[in-house]
Structure 1
């Protein structure tokens, strides 16, 4: 049995292009390459190819393309009855792109039952640059003046690549996600990449898609022009 090959990036990008994602490891699922950098051009190129960074502090940058891929069609968003009631009541005030750094910091904060965080200072800084360039966006849920939930990710073409979310009050991240879906539906957003499935995402309507289907879809939907600049609440 042949050992899986891990590609090492020694420049900002491969001169001959990214390695084919179907060469990603089966175990750990989706591990494709290591090294490189988190420059905006590197990240944007990676996302368009279905690759994203995920690593711990002190490790080299690791690049992943898991099989299958968790995705959500915005039109298939499935809020629970209790979430629909909460949205109707307006329990939380929601904004876009007003507290990006605070959302990333909250997502990176220690969580019960979790060991460490993959949102390293370098990752936070890299996505902060993408935000200032108009590619990365946040959705914030507020209770009064307190930030109680939110999410952030990258928008390319008609795809939103979700990175992380957090919640300090019941359903706060789900409310932020519902407003993200509404924004995408209003602005021709076609797909949310959730990366890896979880019970939380499944409860919102996420499904697993084979990588062989996901990549051609991504190639079609994640093309420029990109929805640059800050987003605004309706």
Structure 2
């Protein structure tokens, strides 16, 4: 059994999360910007499907990517150097979220509901949530979104409409975060795609230790459209 959270209730300790399903911690109906920020500061994130209550998770182990450890293959380096594209920040946040919510092969639905889009859109307006966008020939071709708190970036989802465009966004983001002294990119769940780019699992206790040292001085700030490309070198 997991606790049901009423508005204003504190989250339970993350070490009380279930082992099966891994990391399920609590449920409720509240999904406000402040509730989401409180969750991220404690190593917790929301993940649920349409029609479900809001489910809160803190898996063990946790998938992370150290910005300096981003893996760029020789073929990807050629793409970064030679392919015509433009990377922008925070110019199409809702469009990125809706693109991430589009159906994918092998998936029956999406967890990025209108409820989620509204909550994270409010965080974007306040300067907490950000999008990194890959544009090709004037069209949004790929990208990702997430939250920046202190020296942590919490990656939420990414998409590609053409080959490698989500990877382009992630590489640019990692290089930028490295230059700004960020400790980790939280990837939440283990995927082969993220592992191929340098992601790895760490114990939840280690993740929370790094977290406690990295979100103490968190302030919201909108990113300039050209902020990330200014720090990138292939």
Q: For 2:225 and 2:68, how far apart are their aligned partners in 1?
A: 20
Q: Shift of residue 227 of structure 1?
A: 5.0
After superposition, residues 171-210 of structure 1 pair within 5 angstroms as 171-210=164-203
Q: For 2:172 and 2:153, how far apart are their aligned partners in 1?
A: 13
Structure 2 equivalent of residue 78 of structure 1: 71
TM-score normalised per structure 1: 0.94
- State the aligned residue count: 227
Structure 2 equivalent of residue 88 of structure 1: 81
Q: Aligned to 2:216, what secondary structure does the other structure show?
A: coil
Q: Which runs of 5+ in 2 are unaligned?
A: none
Q: Shift of residue 151 of structure 1?
A: 0.1
2:155 to 155, 162, 168: 162
Deviations 1:7-35 (A, max 9, x none): 11111x31xx3201000000111000000
Q: For 1:31 and 1:67, how far apart are their aligned partners in 2?
A: 10
Q: Shift of residue 225 of structure 1?
A: 3.0
Q: Shift of residue 216 of structure 1?
A: 1.1
The verdict on how the C-alpha distance between 1:231 and 1:159 changes in structure 2, with shifts beyond 3 A counting, is: farther
Query: Which aligned segments of 4 or more residues in structure 1 are displaced greater than 4 angstroms?
Result: none
After superposition, residues 5-44 of structure 1 pair within 5 angstroms as 5-11=1-7, 13-14=8-9, 17-44=10-37
Structure 2 equivalent of residue 145 of structure 1: 138
| 2:17/2:25 contact within 8 Å kept | yes
2:61 to 59, 64, 68: 68
RMSD: 1.1
Q: For 2:31 and 2:172, how far apart are their aligned partners in 1?
A: 28
Q: Shift of residue 38 of structure 1?
A: 1.6
Q: Which runs of 5+ in 1 are unaligned?
A: none
Q: For 2:34 and 2:224, how far apart are their aligned partners in 1?
A: 21
Q: Shift of residue 85 of structure 1?
A: 0.8
| 1:94/1:139 contact within 8 Å kept | yes
Q: For 2:177 and 2:220, how far apart are their aligned partners in 1?
A: 10
Q: For 1:30 and 1:87, how far apart are their aligned partners in 2?
A: 36
Deviations 1:71-91 (A, max 9, x none): 010011111111111111143
